[in-house]
Amino acid sequence: MGDSGFKNCQVLITGGLGFIGSNLAHRLVLLGAQVTIVDNLFPTQGGCQANIRGIEDKVRVNISDIRNQQSLEHLVRGVEFIFNLAGQTSHLDSMRDPMTDLDLNCAAQLALLEVCRRHNPDCKIVYASTRQIYGRPAYLPVDEKHLLHPVDVNGVNKMAGEAYHLVYHEVYGLRATALRLTNTFGPRMRVKDARQTFLGIWMRLALQGLPFEVWGGAQLRDFTFVDDAVDAFLLAAATPEADGQVFNIAGEPVVSLTELAEMLAGATGQNYVVREFPPERLRIDIGDYHADDSAFRALTGWAPKVPLAEGLERTLAYYRDNLGDYL
């Protein structure tokens, strides 16, 4: 099925007021899907009412927590696709308060999967996993055969969250696919702080006329513009052969943080400072990372379309107009 396959489809997006979830909602509304968003608006996560500006009347927003199986049952029944983006993303928060991270990334995922197998076993679920679960790469680019060595509690719990999806596929036949996302950026990302990605806070500071801080600088990374990530979610949903599988989603080109900082400085006219890693970040930093996503490309034909520089420009343009909603 192509994009047209989502027309009139019942779709549920967990974490749908968040960064990637809300971008998915915008796209799915365009494609004619019937979108329900569930989000707990947890203050340290990405959920934000401004993220659905323009589609407020075209989506159903349900403010609740997917740990609550009772409310979830009603939301899951009759849905054809679940884009499962609810979760906690902050590495530092997970070390400060590991139990809350466990709750949001493990208990909530188990609750959702239990409700699906009992009340909607035929729906397709695409789970937002993360490169973070690989930990420090043993080789580059990292493919899906790389061992998982998460370096923080958030990584452990995201690893478990992904693994539950595969178990529920194997044992109950749930149609689950997991995408291990690399650094994703774009309009509607959290820029208040570094909880989603350091690039958010870089952009916010640059737009506020303040120097942003580069920690280290030599680390290699790849970046996915959010529209390309949305394409990947839709393709994963529409590809039955992806059921029960896990795929890397990477970005191109691979750049060092200093190169990225140069691009952002060039685009904003704002300077940056390079700093030593703060010790509590250094212990959970993973060094260089970039991924091999050839398996997903080969299966689905996906390829990123938005060059890094263009993605940065489009993101900056969004926040020039909307920064006040994200502070």
CA distance 132 to 126: 18
Which positions from 274 through 303 interact with its own copies, judged by CB under 8 A? Answer: 283-284
- Which stretch of DSSP H or E encloses residue 50? none
Residue 311, φ and ψ in degrees, nearest 5: -60, -45
- Residue 259 is encoded by which pair of tokens? 């190169």
Residue 327 binds to its own copies (criterion: CB under 8 A): no
Angle at 159 between CA 154 and CA 163, to 5 degrees: 145
- Which is nearer to its own copies, 3 or 114 (by Cβ)? 114
Name the residue nearer to its own copies (CB basis): 110 or 323. Answer: 110
Q: How many residues bind its own copies (CB under 8 A)?
A: 30
Contact status: 164 vs its own copies (CB under 8 A): yes
The single residue among 3, 65, 73, 114 that binds its own copies, judged by CB under 8 A, is 114
Q: How far is the CB of 164 from its own copies (least distance, A)?
A: 6
Q: Is 92 in the site for its own copies (CB under 8 A)?
A: no
Q: Residue 148 Cβ, how far from its own copies at the closest point, in Å?
A: 6
Q: Is 244 in the site for its own copies (CB under 8 A)?
A: no
- Per CB under 8 A, the segment of 52-60, 159-167, 260-268, 286-294 that binds its own copies is 159-167
Q: What distance in Å separates the CA atoms of residue 228 and residue 304, rounded to the nearest whole number? A: 5
Among 9, 55, 151, 267, binds its own copies (CB under 8 A): 151
CB 186 within 8 A of CB 311: yes
Among 5, 98, 141, 217, binds its own copies (CB under 8 A): 98
Q: Which stretch binds its own copies (CB under 8 A): 105-113, 208-216, 267-275, 289-297?
A: 105-113
Q: Which stretch binds its own copies (CB under 8 A): 18-26, 152-160, 197-205, 251-259?
A: 152-160
User: Is residue 150 a contact residue for its own copies (CB under 8 A)?
Assistant: yes
Considering the complex, state which of residue 58 and residue 149 has its C-beta at the smaller distance from its own copies: 149
- Binder among 9, 41, 55, 148 for its own copies (CB under 8 A): 148
**Measured distance CA(311)–CA(157) in Å, rounded:** 30
C-alpha dihedral over 186, 275, 192, 230, to 10 degrees?
20
- A 10 A CB-CB count for 139 gives 9
Q: Which is nearer to its own copies, 3 or 292 (CB)?
A: 292
Residue 153 sits in the site that holds its own copies (CB under 8 A)? yes
* Shortest Å, Cβ 139 to its own copies: 12
Pairing of strands 81-84, 59-63: unpaired
Three-state secondary structure along 132-190?
HHHCCCCCCCECCCCCCCCCCHHHHHHHHHHHHHHHHHHHHCCEEEEEEECEEECCCCC
CB 84 within 8 A of CB 181: no
227: which strand partners? none
Kindly report the backbone phi and psi dihedral angles of residue 70, in degrees, each rounded to the nearest multiple of 5, phi listed first. Answer: -60, -50
Beta bridge partners of 128: 179
* 38, 82, 102, 312: which one binds its own copies (CB under 8 A): 102
Query: Which of the ranges 29-37, 55-63, 94-102, 251-259 carries the binding residues for its own copies, by CB under 8 A?
Result: 94-102
Q: Which residues bind its own copies (CB under 8 A)?
A: 95, 98-99, 102, 106-107, 110-111, 114, 145, 147-153, 155-157, 159-160, 163-164, 166-167, 170-171, 283-284
